[in-house]
A and B are shown apart, each in its own frame.
Chain A
Amino acid sequence: MFGNRANGFALGRLRDEVDRLFTGFAENFESAAPSRGFPLLNVWESEGSLHAEAEVPGLRMEDLEILVVGNELIIKGARDAGSDEAEGRVFHRRERGDGVFSRVVRLPIEIDAGKVSATLKDGILSIDLPKAEVAKPKRIEVRHGGK
């Protein structure tokens, strides 16, 4: 019961997001997912946390900055896919895109910013966003009245 109510609310709010995008990534990723920016995100919810996942191939943790400010999740970084001039090489095809990116997503519920953690493995960024105490569902004991 609590879950359903929370999901309905969350969906509407998550759509209301702010994306800021700089050079490079725009062209390549627009075709894959119009006007979404980089990185693309999947977000889901468990009882105690929100979970966000993004595909960020070629990036390491030191290339990424993850911030939670208020109810906004901010993912910033830069990817260097190499230049034409390096090692006397010529690029015949460039689809991967590089440059600086910044993505801001408004989260639907309050997060305990101090407990946010992230892992990065094989280009998959996983962010665990524990809910603030006030945002966790409370089970209400319903007692039989009278007897």
Chain B
Amino acid sequence: MSTQTQVEKRTPSEVGRTEQTWSGRYYAPNVDIAETRDELTVFADMPGVGAEDLDVRFENGELRIHGRVKPRQDEKVAYLLNEYSIGDFFRTFQISEAIDSEKISAEYRDGVLVLHLPKVERARPRKIDVKLK
């Protein structure tokens, strides 16, 4: 199964998304995306991923995050209550803002991946000093 969702862009810096889901194994993490003057910040809920199992790529304006999740219970376990499934996290985003890809940084803490995508210098809003004469 494959679904594609295009989200209408509301502002020039809105981050569009392409989502793909495959039956079974992959789950799209919930994200918050914030913008400041200097960067876009992506917060992705990816519980149970070890830092060494995270793969983050940025190429041609596409941000791709993948977190491998190892099974935590025996696959034969008989759940008394089974409200969520366990599998890898995967999601891609189209970033229209000009990003300085050399300076992208990532942290993973308490099950949340935080990505800092600094804007290139020319994409930052500038305050123009007006000199009074």
Chain A residue numbers with a CB within 8 Å of B50 are: 122
The B-contacting residues of A in range 40-77, CB under 8 angstroms, are 40-45, 50, 53, 55-60
Are A91 and B47 also in contact (CB < 8 A) when A42-B82, A43-B80, A105-B81 are?
no
Q: Give the contact-size bracket for chain B.
A: 35 or more
Residue total for A at the interface (Cβ-Cβ under 8 A): 40
Partner of A93, one of B15, B81, B108, B112: B15
Counting CB contacts under 8 A, is B128 at the interface? Answer: no
- For the complex, would chain B's binding face be called helix, strand, loop or mixed by DSSP majority? loop
Chain B nearest CB, measured from A99 CB (Å): 14
Question: Is A14 an interface position by the 8 A CB rule?
Answer: yes
Asked if residues B32 and A91 are in contact (CB atoms below 8 Å), the reply is yes
B11, A57: Cβ atoms closer than 8 Å: no
Least Cβ–Cβ distance between B48 and chain A, in angstroms: 5
B6 at the interface (CB under 8 A from A): no
Min C-beta distance of A19 to chain B, whole Å: 11
Neighbouring B residues of A36 by C-beta, 8 Å? 83
State which of A40, A60, A95 has its C-beta within 8 Å of the C-beta of B32: A95
Please tell me if A97 contacts chain B, counting CB pairs below 8 Å. Answer: yes
Chain A residue contacts of B73, Cβ below 8 A: 42, 44, 53
In the assembled complex, which residues on chain B have CB atoms less than 8 Å from the CB atom of A28?
Answer: 30
Q: How far is A94 from B35 in the complex, measured between Cα atoms in Å?
A: 12
Q: Which residues of B contact A89 (CB under 8 A)?
A: 34-36, 41
- CB A73 to nearest CB in B, in angstroms, measures 10
Chain B residues in 8 Å Cβ range of A137: none
Q: Which residues of A contact B14 (CB under 8 A)?
A: 92
Q: Is the CB of B110 within 8 A of A58?
A: yes
Compute how far the CA of A20 lies from the CA of B10 in the bound complex, rounded to whole angstroms: 36
A33 at interface, CB cutoff 8 A: yes
Neighbouring A residues of B108 by C-beta, 8 Å: 122
Does residue A24 face the partner (Cβ distance < 8 Å to B)? no
Judge if B58 is at the interface, Cβ distance under 8 Å: no
Stretch from A80-88, A110-118, A138-146 contacting the other chain: A80-88
Interface residues in chain A, defined as those with a beta carbon under 8 Å from any beta carbon in chain B: 7, 10-11, 14, 28, 32-33, 36, 40-45, 50, 53, 55-60, 81-82, 87-97, 105, 108, 122-124
